[in-house]
Structure 1
Amino acid sequence: MDHLLNKRVKDIQISGIRKFYNMVSNYKDAISLTIGQPDFPTPDHIKDAAKLALDNNKTVYTHNAGIIELRKAISNYYKKYNLEYNPEDEIIVTNGASEAIYIALNTILEKDCEVILPAPVYPGYEPVIKLLEAKPVYVDTTKNDFKITAELIKPHLTDKTRCIIIPSPSNPTGVMLNKNELLEIAKLLKDKDIFILSDEIYSELSYDFEHTSIASFKEVFDKTIVINGLSKSHSMTGFRIGYVLSPSYISKEMIKVHQYINSCACSISQYAALEALTNGLLDCNIMKEEYKKRRDFVYKKLIKMGLDTVKPNGAFYIFPSIKKFNINSLEFAVKLLETQKVAVIPGDAFSPLGEGYIRISYASSIEILKKGLEKIQKFLEGLS
């Protein structure tokens, strides 16, 4: 019966991130600098809110779009980015940001249309695009410090372009776009029938300048879909709470896709998220300061090793080049794991344009990072 399975599903691959993360489990005592999992515990008051929700029997279906109290809290939260979204019909609470991406792309894409992506890029977009029989179009950002710009986008625009995805801060590079760079993209797209998917899941983890949402520019507000969630900002990955913000004419269509695959996000998690976005707005600050110290520490060490590295502005990833060693990224990562018991993600997991790089997650303590980097240096000395 294998031949009857959906060919588009068979043609997509398990994420290279997860594939390598799972490989690490076979190596006892390996230092894993792979997955984007914050190493901070979920704040106690958020866990207490989840327990209270259980005790109060908040265990039933909620409104498809999420409890209104949480949608109001999300609306208030996004005002700091100079944005106003109506909690009644412009906000949908989802099962993580991954579901938010899925329902957004399902709502706006059709067969044979094109989606522009900055590359290297998070591998969660391309499979959804291909499942919908649309075409991913990669913009090479490697010669521009991993920044997508209006100038780089322009040559890739066609009459089939339906959407541009802008992840800022970016996974895997940690690079983010500043206000002026985003404004130039907004100006380019303002008169074009092209949607913008702005993935802002790392918005709270910005170190060198404030996060700007491209949706805050009136020129493109009506065509922008914003993705965010609580996984990274409040270390709530397992709670699976994301959300999607968009003008009501888009949201009213997205809610249909959402309700038929998920009904609603977990009720208990929604009450925990409500606590996070009302009484936990400063929770991220401690994590953010620690990530910034780690960013600086890792960046200095990599530069000292002689690796060409773009300093990230946000998230908790860094993406050094290994091109000088004339070894592909998968072979590099496998040999590093086998010989030094240190795991990183090969760059080709982030599109073909990620080849020649590795992704290191610094969502680990300085002590662990120090040990891991010392082993990486030893490995590099063996290659040289």
Structure 2
Amino acid sequence: MNDGVDEAGWDVEPGDEIEPVVQAVGRLLRVCREAAGLRPGELAEVLGYGEDLIRKIERGQRIPRPEFLDKADHVLHANGHLRAFMEDMRRARYPKKVRRLKELEDRAVEMLLYSNHNIHGLLQTAEYMTALYEVRQPPLARDVIEREVAGRTGRQSVFGREPVPSLSFIQEQVTLERPIGGKTVLRRQLEHLLEISQLRNVSIQVMPTEREDHAGMHGLLEVLKFADGTAIGRSDGAFNGRPVESPRDLRILELRYGMSLVFAADGVPVLVLMDGASRVDVERVREELGVTKVGRADAQAVREATGYAIGGVPPFGHRTSTRVLADRSLLAHDVVWAAAGTPYAVFPIEPKELVSHAQATLVDVRERPADGV
């Protein structure tokens, strides 16, 4: 018997679609081992792992690491047959839910991502991730932590792919202050955020802790948009946390994400109606109004001017006579969904009717990408 370590792989999750491939790799390993005239314990001795690990892999209960297959291929003279599965097993090491998420993120052309508890996974350093998993209760096994970190790190390939997606992050201020893993880990994490924020396709905004209320008070929010016009979204505080794909449900999430469209122009409230997929260029708003300064209105000013809380401001029917600007991008849609007085309700309306009812002025204040399109 070999008392070598049993750590050259990960357990297969029940019902995982990768299970048949893992089982096929296990059967191939056994065929190659028997062809070489070795018993499981003898192969374990040569490779430096435990015999129990070899048996688990051969039964399809353990996902072998790529380096294990590489070494086994050499020892068993498998002529590359085991190495051929290295990439499959590299993908299989990610938990099922992570593989599905990575597939969606790899397809997305735009992502809207709000985090209120800790820094978003796509922005985390490996040591910050590890620290997060290490404080989980009940405690996670070391190989589980390693697998989760590998999966989350693998998702970050989205920053290097072409064509580049548009990534918009909103982080609660407290997530940048909590010293998860210690002050040194946090400092390096914040330095990493600064580096990522320099990418031309990445926007990172901070929600101040002093903000009394906003549309993201109910937790994590994510919207992923795809090139074919479809999208998928999820929020901890909506639809029981389940993913949604219908235009109406997605519009609710988009409104929650991008609802801060009430501005103060030289102290006077102005409402800007904007396509949920676009962002307001504050400087263009200032030029359009001919004022000195334009900034986001705070929660109290929004409520006093409109009668509604941030996240639920409708395009018309306000408490006071509020000036309204409507970006021309709205007219490209057959129907748009507007907030109906609360963060939980929207209503459909044709863009021309929306502009008419809101007595809005049509303007071009949408933020343009770097190429000017």
Fold shared per TM-score above 0.5 = no
Query: TM-score normalised by the shorter chain: which range applies?
Result: under 0.3
TM-score (norm 2): 0.22
Larger Rg: 2
TM-score (norm 1): 0.22
Higher relative contact order by CA 8 Å / sep ≥ 6: 1 or 2? Answer: 1
